Chain A
Amino acid sequence: MNKANKLSRRTLLKGIGLGAGAAALAACAAPPAAPSAPASQAPAAPEPTAAPAAAGPVEIIHWGFTGGLGKTEEKLATMWNEMQSEVKVTLQVQGNYEETAQKLTAALAAQQGPDMVLLSDVWWFKFFRAKALMPLNDLIKEQGIDTADFVESLWNEGVRKGVQYWIPFARSTPLFYYNADMLEAAGLPVRGPETWDEMREWAPKLVKKEGGTTKVAAFAHPGAASYVAWLFQCVIRQFGGRYSDQDFNILLTQPDSIRAGQFYQDTVNKEGWAIASQDVTKDFVTGLTATAMMSTGALAGVLRDAQFKVGTAFLPKEKFFNCCTGGSGLAILATTPMEKARAAIKYIDYATGNDGGAFWSQNTGYMPVRKSTATSESYKAFFEKVPQAKTAVEQLPLTEAQDAARVFIPGGDQIIGKGLERILIGNEPVEKVFTEVKAILEKEAEPVKQDIAAMG
């Protein structure tokens, strides 16, 4: 009896817990739909305007960045809200790219999504495949956005069959960062290495060991969770290999791809000048690694936190130079009413344009997505102040769109990333790992290929 009591009470509690958990989850996922009371600050009293906006501004809910980037994004939205009275953008912070996408998935299932959302390079396609994103061509035309002004490699990534679904906003590329003080102290030229061979020559002078442990590494690789597959994508191409072509043929086991994998492995396990780091940005600003490849989006944070002179350079070459695009863009959801979609495209025009876009990229390190922004007066002044940003902008025209295997196969980034972890940390034979990763990618690509074929 005693036991029965205990058990049933426990199971009941579990049941209640589940119910409460589900309710809490639902509460997390659902955006406060059109708040009846002003959420943060009271909107300015309706001013008499010439515009026929009798019912007040159109409010759009925008899911965006978290943390420091979120604060800058918030400022951008506030600047917009203050400069006009037709469209009011309410930014809702949702977390990192993965969390935002996860919450959007849940919100769509509950039919309570936002109007506009920031989606990363690997996530937008999933929502496109599920027909959750609005085709934007007509809106873009209506708004009169000069599409030719956008950097081609960035703009074209959001186009499927001539239709735009995803507009570049927080777009980044990998960039080579170096600790200028360390290079100088080691008697090396204060610049980035031209080639990986040069990096190899420099490395022993940068590494500092103490009783068997590496105190300072010459270079740091991130783990799977921090997009090692994004950075290695450039390196594999520099060596002449690739993850895949755009038709999902996986090219990981080609000799040059394996050579690149071998190089990565050797940097840590044989030559010992690079480390596998849990947080590359932290390790770089705290002086635990002399150089690293990181996103241009990390630039503002690195410059703020580093206590030494930071330099930036193009990525090193091997057979070729290569640098891939990355980061995120803005999309309008297919469920958004036309009135709100029109309002959203106005904001997108501003946020990617010469005023808003310049403010955004100068304060974060993301790329100016329009060519006219990069050549504007404001950018000339900015480069004077922050010369490190100039490297990134100069590298931008040389960038290439990413491989289908990473961005279009569901979980592709993590599948490749985990393979790279096995090579870097597990020290497993490169060819064996790449062969296995290839098989997984080929299997996961099947439904995507079918969907694309079905879409015509």
Chain B
Amino acid sequence: MSDVIRIVRRDWREWLIFIAFVGPNLLLFGIFTYYPLAQNGVLAFTDYNLITRSGRFTGLRNFETVFGSTQFSKILANTFVFTTVSVALLLGLGLMIALLLNQKLRGRNAARSILFSPTILAGAAIAIVWIYIFDPRFGFIYAILRPFGIVAPKWLTDPNWAMPAIIIVYVWKNLGYATVIFIAGLQAIPRELYEAARVDGAGAFDRFWHVTLPGLSPVMFFLVVTTILSSFQAFDIINIMTKGGPVNATNTLIFHLYELFFVQSSAGRAAVVALLLFVLMMVVTLLQVRYLERRVSYA
């Protein structure tokens, strides 16, 4: 009996300590994350008007309108294409450049700085510059292609080229970030592992496959999670360069959310999209934690 009391008392004391440490954090999350989240959930079932600050309960009507619209499947597909292609490019190119810049090359530091600089520039400014680069009649790309007799695509006004254009700019802006993280990861791999592999007669490819890649796995995991999440939220470049057009070719969930809220003034429908985005990001992250992290070795 007394054993039970002791256990309960100890549990109780541990709880107190636990609350003391976690409480302030939880409070902040509660105010800034969970409360807005719950509010958003409520909003999704109303026709809330931002100007009058009032709304009626409308049941599932917002869900029907958002999911039933003819453009919705296109928007979902766009989001999927944008995220997978840009994440794949960021990771692939980031790793390649990191491997290159990890060599003892001349001008390595300068190259690293230049590569990283787009990351710290404002997306809006980058988008405006790229509008000129893409201009099919007097842009930079046009000027480069012209001597070879190649007709520059109408990047931003052709529905088939607008998404590639947006992805190019997005990857260009964020490549430096992925590269820098990869370089840090590469430098954390102990030299001895490479020496040991060499002694065992491993070639360059084997060293990459059996030493570098496993050594990079924690960094890779971190990058996969963060780049997917941030690509879901890419807004500035799309808003400046295409406004989701032409013909919804670059309309993604986050841009659609903006459109519904600010252009159509429909807070309820925007809340539905926000909810969907939240669920999608949650599922993607959980899947990654569940299946990807197993393969991560924190050596």
Contacts and interface: CB of A to CB of B under 8 A. Distances in A.
A109 B70 contact: no
Contact of B247 (A213, A426, A444): A426
Nearest to B262: A102
Interface in B144-182: 149, 151-152, 156-159
Contacts of A186: none
A418 interface: yes
Given A15-B32, A421-B246, A2 B298 contact: yes
A421 B259 CA distance: 16
Interface string A232-274: 0000000000000000000000000000000000000000000
A18 B36 CA distance: 10
Nearest to A286: B138
Contact of A414 (B28, B47, B149, B263): B263
Interface stretch (A33-41, A59-67, A123-131, A374-382): A123-131
Given A410-B266, A426-B247, A276 B25 contact: no
B53 A288 contact: no
B50 interface: yes
B137 A12 contact: no
Given A131-B52, A223-B246, A18 B151 contact: no
**Of listed B25, B51, B71, B293, residue having the most chain A CB within 10 A:** B51
A85 interface: no
A2 B293 CA distance: 13
Given A421-B246, A425-B247, A213 B47 contact: no
B246 A425 contact: yes
Nearest to A108: B51
Nearest to B49: A130
Contacts of A105: 50-51, 262, 265
Q: SS class of chain B's interface: helix, strand, loop or mixed?
A: loop
A138 interface: no
Contacts of A414: 259, 263-264
A144 interface: no
B188 to A, nearest CB: 13
Nearest to A7: B289
B217 interface: no
B151 A421 contact: no
B185 interface: no
Of the candidates B32, B151, B156, B293, the one having the most CB atoms from chain A within 10 angstroms of its own CB is B32
B247 A418 contact: yes
Interface string A173-217: 000000000000000000000000000000000000001110100
9 contacts: A16-B28, A18-B36, A130-B52, A278-B156, A288-B137, A418-B247, A425-B246, A426-B159, A426-B247
Interface of A: 2-3, 6, 8, 11-12, 14-16, 18-19, 22, 98, 102, 105-106, 108-109, 126-127, 130-132, 211-213, 215, 223-225, 276-278, 286, 288, 410-411, 414, 418, 421-422, 425-426, 436, 440, 443-444, 447
The 5 A-B residue pairs with the shortest CB-CB distance in the complex, in nearest-first order:
A130-B51, A411-B264, A225-B243, A426-B247, A130-B52
